Structure 1
């Protein structure tokens, strides 16, 4: 049985995994968000190694998660699902009304599993097509 722990982490701990998984072709600074130090960040540790990250931001009771990333050798192992369940629980405790994200179009199916639905809002950025997806809580 694998040891899996989810903990709140310092913003800078997210950068290496974001960079490696999401935008390896861009400079490291490109994965740093202007409001990283106002967000809440969670890391999933597999056998004590930081293996995945997600960042959560809010305006009032509406929360957005950004930069959900799992190291490639640990993808499809359920860690992303555990992180998503963790932030959904966290948002419910915070009395959030809605959780949303800018989803890469090729990852839509993953978010459907958690009850997210697509909105009309789509855009193209950094070589990827995105759709805004949301879930009422």
Structure 2
């Protein structure tokens, strides 16, 4: 398996299939996608997991972490998160954060992110802001 930078457009199919299959494809296309850095994890030639990162000075937000349903449970999302956290540290980023679905909070805690207990709803889904500081 390999992790490499990919164009935003290459993330959209997985975002759509995994996160919002009942919405139109455009729903998963972010206005700021062209400002982000996007990574894909490939198992052989197949793209199986993706993540998008948005840096602003000493902070980085990651968004749209997704693994194909049939490939979940193999540690791919963990590998992507470890990759971007190492990259953030090496680039002098002081805070990495995300809007985590509340039902996925434990996954992020295992990686070292801390729940800020700032919650909100979007599209009938509850989120909490999670972060890690270096």
TM-score, length-scaled by structure 2:
0.98
Corresponding residue to 1:71 among 65, 68, 72: 68
Give the match's secondary structure for 1:34. coil
Corresponding residue to 1:106 among 103, 124, 131: 103
Deviation string for 1:16-73 (max 9, x for gaps)? 0000000000000000011100100000001210001000001111000000000000
Equivalent residue number for residue 118 of structure 2 = 121
Corresponding residue to 1:40 among 37, 49, 70: 37
Give the match's secondary structure for 1:100. strand
Q: Distance between the aligned counterparts of 1:24 and 1:126, measured in 2?
A: 13
Instruction: Please give the residue correspondences for 1:18-33 in structure 2 after superposition, counting only pairs within 5 Å.
Output: 18-33=15-30
TM-score, length-scaled by structure 1:
0.96
Q: Which runs of 4+ in 1 moved over 4 A?
A: none
Gaps of 5+ in 1: none
1:80 aligned onto 2:77:
yes
Gaps of 5+ in 2: none
Q: Distance between the aligned counterparts of 1:17 and 1:115, measured in 2?
A: 25
Equivalent residue number for residue 54 of structure 1 = 51
Q: Distance between the aligned counterparts of 1:119 and 1:88, measured in 2?
A: 18
**RMSD in angstroms over aligned alpha carbons?**
0.7
Give the match's secondary structure for 2:111. coil
Give the match's secondary structure for 2:22. coil
Q: CA deviation at 1:127?
A: 2.2
